[in-house]
Each structure stands twice: as C-alpha cells, then as structure tokens.
Amino acid sequence: MEYLSRGDLLDIMLTNGPFPISATRFLAAELICGLQFLHSRGIIHRDIKPDNILLDSTGHLKIADFGLAVMNIFGDTNISGWAGTRLYMAPEILQNKPYNTAVDWFSAGLVIYVMATGKHPFYRGKIGRALKAIINDDPVFPNEMDPQLKAIINGLLDKSAESRQKFVENIRDHPFFMEINWTDIEEATACPSFQLTPPPVMMTSDTMKDVLCFTEANNTPIAETGQNLFCGFTFANEGWKVIESIPKPIISNRRPVKPHRRTFGTIVKDAFHRIWRRIKPWK
C-alpha cells in the first residue's frame, strides 16, 4: 500500500480539533464516493471509523482496513454477523438483525458528525449507554451547526436501514454539496481548500529510507520468478525477497539427559547446607 503521510483521520482530528465546514464537506464527499464505489462492487466495509480513514500528502481521503469486509452483496441481499467497532456500529448490527450496505452509511454519518464537532453523538462516558442510545435515541446537534450539514447527518443516522438507503440515493444532489464537483472528486483532481496539520510522526532516518523506497513507483520490477507472489499488486519493490523456509531442526541420536532424581539423602543434605549457611555468620 502506498505511504499516506498525513496518517489516519482520528489522529488528525486530535491534532486539529473539529474541522471547518469546508474540510468536513470535502472529506464527506470523498467518503461518500468511496462507499458508493465499494457498494457498487458488492463490498460492505463494516468497520468505517476515523481510524480506518487515511489521508495522503495532498489531503485526499482513502478508506483502509478491509479485514471485516464482505463481498458479493448486491441488491436486497442481507447478511448477518456481529462485526465492526461498537461505537460506530449501525443499530441493526447491535440488535443482531440482518443488514446490508446501509450499515456503512450509518457509520459514515457518525464519522461526519465527529469531524464537524469533535465529539461522538451518542457517547457520554459509558459504552453501554452509548450503544443503547445508538439504537433508541436521536443525535443531539450543537446549535451553531450548519442546517444543511445537520440534515445530511440526520439522514445517514436514520434508525431505519430502508430510509437510510433511500436518502443516500440522492445524496449528491443535497444542498450541502452544492459546491462539490463530483467528477473532480471521483478523479481526485479537486484540490482541498483547507489545510489540516498532520499529526507528529517520529521516524528514524532508516525508517524514512524504507518508506521512501517502498513508495517509489519507478523502481525496477522484481524478477519474473517472484512475480507470482505479488499477483494483483500495482507495485512491488524488488527489495522484497522470498522468505526462505525455516530449516528443519537437527535430530540428534543421543538420548536426552534425564533430570537428576532427588533422594531422601540429597534432600537432607541440601537442608543441612541451607541451615549451615545461615548460622555460620553468627560465629
């Protein structure tokens, strides 16, 4: 995977605090494009959260960590199973109900709310209460929040998965995204009109050298004999070598040495020496 120098969204939020509305709008639009791309190919991510959203050096968003994703889910197909991060789960997952791509949209609504406010809409110090609030309560919005942004978040955090899906069908036409050129967003040619300070990163010179080495797309390809190991990757550094198999341990013909068996005599002898070492300094 390419090196994304700005790190994950969680660390960026901790460094910058709540995002300005321009940054929230831009990143929300890129997140929407990313999810629509995945869902059009039958992929449900199931773990959308700030930790799994990364930013590159120019401020473009990339969805990462597909360890919990499921594939080939199209149309009205539903699946089941507890998966995700509890504070970013949709109500239907928390209630162990069948679900579809709508769970990603609920998580996206939570992420957008956190970007705009720096707080989770349902968390008040205890996870148990937060999970009940996700299922039963409506989010509380700051008075100063932009009404159009509030409408976007409300639509994504709808408790009904069906209503959530209907809302997303026309989300690109929402007034909140009036300034967004969706073609530029999809092609990553839109320039962010904001500057977010990346989190501090401590790297040694050797680490930076490795990082730069792994991200140079113009390096010589690896040998043909190793190509099959990296089938499907857009880039593989020739410095990555095949890991040699671990040699088998040498089996010796010698019999293992049995541990010394303690007898009554050795026990008495050891006890005498312990007592003698204690009384000897008194002389």
Q: Is the pTM of this model over 0.75?
A: no
Same domain, 99 and 18: yes
- Catalytic site includes residue 47: yes
Residues 172 and 241 in one domain: no
The reply to whether 56 falls in a domain is yes
Q: Are residues 26 and 148 in the same domain?
A: yes
Length of the chain: 283
Task: Provide CB contacts within 8 A for 283, sequence distance 6+.
Answer: none
Q: How confident is the model at residue 5 (pLDDT cuts 50, 70, 90)?
A: confident
Domain count, the chain: 2
Q: For residue range 115-155, what is the model confidence (pLDDT) as tens digits? A: 999 999 998 788 889 999 999 999 989 999 999 999 999 99
Query: What's phi and psi for 62, nearest 5 deg?
Result: -140, 130
Same domain, 141 and 39: yes
Residues 51 and 182 in one domain: yes
Answer whether residue 2 is part of any domain: no
- What separation, in Å, do the N-terminal and C-terminal C-alpha atoms of the chain show? 74
Give, as one character, the DSSP assignment of residue 54: E
**Which two tokens mark 104?**
């990603």
Residue of higher predicted confidence among 267 and 189: 189
| DSSP SS3 for 55 | strand
Tell me, yes or no, whether 119 and 237 share the same domain. no
- Residue-wise pLDDT for 65-81, tens only, equals 999 999 999 888 899 98
Place of tokens 């140079």: 216
User: Is position 81 within any domain?
Assistant: yes
Does residue 115 lie within any of the structural domains?
A: yes
Residues 142 and 239 in one domain: no
53, containing H or E segment: strand 53-55
Q: Are strands 53-55 and 61-63 parallel, antiparallel or unpaired?
A: antiparallel
Both tokens assigned to 134: 């996700």
Q: Which residues of 135-165 are buried (b: 16+ CB within 10 A; e: fewer)?
A: eeeebebeeeeeeebbebbebbbbeebeebb
State what percent of residues in the chain have pLDDT above 90: 49
Domain-located, residue 262: no
Listed residue (91, 115, 94) closest to 102, CA to CA: 91
Give the pLDDT band (50/70/90) at residue 219.
very low
Domain membership of residue 172 (yes or no) is yes
What CA–CA distance (Å, rounded) separates 82 from 91?
Answer: 11
**What's 282's DSSP letter?**
G
Label residue 192 exposed, middle or buried (CB < 10 Å: 0-12, 13-18, 19+): middle
Long-range contacts of 271-278 (CB under 8 A, 24+ apart): none
113 and 37 in one domain? yes
Pair (145, 206) in one structural domain: no
Inter-residue contact 154 to 139 (CB < 8 Å): yes
- Is 114's pLDDT higher than 70? yes
- CATH number for the domain spanning 123: value is 1.10.510.10
d(CA 103, CA 164): 9
Residue whose pair of structure tokens reads 């401020």 in the numeric block: 59
A 10 A CB-CB count for 27 gives: 24
The verdict on residue 258 lying in a domain is: no
Q: Which residues contact 137 (CB under 8 A, 6 or more apart)?
A: 122
Tell me, yes or no, whether 26 and 107 share the same domain: yes
Catalytically annotated residue among 8, 11, 47, 104: 47
- 35 within some domain: yes
Q: Which domain holds residue 88?
A: 9-186
26 and 165 share one domain: yes
Contact 109, 14 (CB under 8 A): no
DSSP 252: P
Residues 227 and 129 occupy one common structural domain: no
Mean pLDDT estimate for the chain:
81
Query: In Å, what is the CA distance from 162 to each residue of 115, 148, 174, 221?
Result: 25, 21, 18, 48
Q: What is the pLDDT of residues 42-98, one digit of tens each?
A: 999 999 999 999 998 888 899 999 999 999 998 888 999 889 999 999 999 999 999
